[in-house]
Amino acid sequence: QVQLVESGGGLVHTGDSLKLSCTFYGRTFSSAAMGWFRQAPRKEREFVAAIGGVGWIDDTKYADSVKGRFTISRDIDEKMLYLQMVNLQPGDTAVYYCVGSDGPMPQAMAGSYGYWGQGTQVTVSS
C-alpha cells in the first residue's frame, strides 16, 4: 500500500519562494515516477511537474506556466519528493497534490498516477 503526505504549503507574497515536500510510504519509491499537480478554486486540475524513477531520475517535465520558476527533485534514500517554487505569483495559488506512479517514466497526464496525497494549500497574495 502506498501513501503520500504533502507539507510545506502556506501564505506568501508575490515574488516569494516556497518549498513543498512529499513523504512517500511504500516499497516502490525508487522505481516510481512522481510529480505535482495543482487545483485552484473554480478551475480544473492541472499538471505542474514530474520526475522519473530509477533509470529516469534525470528526466523531468514541467508545465509551461512554471518552467524556470519551479524545480522538482527527489531524494531516493529518504523517500522524499520536493517542489522548490520561486518568484511565486497570485496565479500559483492552489492546492498542490503529490502524486506517484507504478511506472518509471514521468508524464503530464493525471491518469498516469494512481497514488495521490491529500494536498497542501499554497496562497500567494498580491
| pLDDT tens for each residue of 65-114 | 999 999 999 998 899 999 999 999 999 999 999 999 988 999 999 999 99
Q: Is 27 left (phi over 0), alpha (psi -120 to 50) or beta?
A: alpha
- The predicted pLDDT at position 30 comes to 77
Q: Angle at CA 99, nearest 5°, toward 44 and 118?
A: 75
- The predicted pLDDT at position 102 comes to 86
Q: How far apart are CA 19 and CA 69, in angstroms?
A: 12
Q: Cell numbers 498580491 label which residue?
A: 126
**Is residue 81 within 8 Å of 72, Cβ to Cβ?**
yes
- The predicted pLDDT at position 60 comes to 96
CA-based nearest residue to 36, from 78, 77, 66: 66
The model's pLDDT over 35-57, given as tens digits with 9 standing for 90+, comes to 999 999 999 999 999 999 888 87
**Is residue 36 within 8 Å of 99, Cβ to Cβ?**
yes
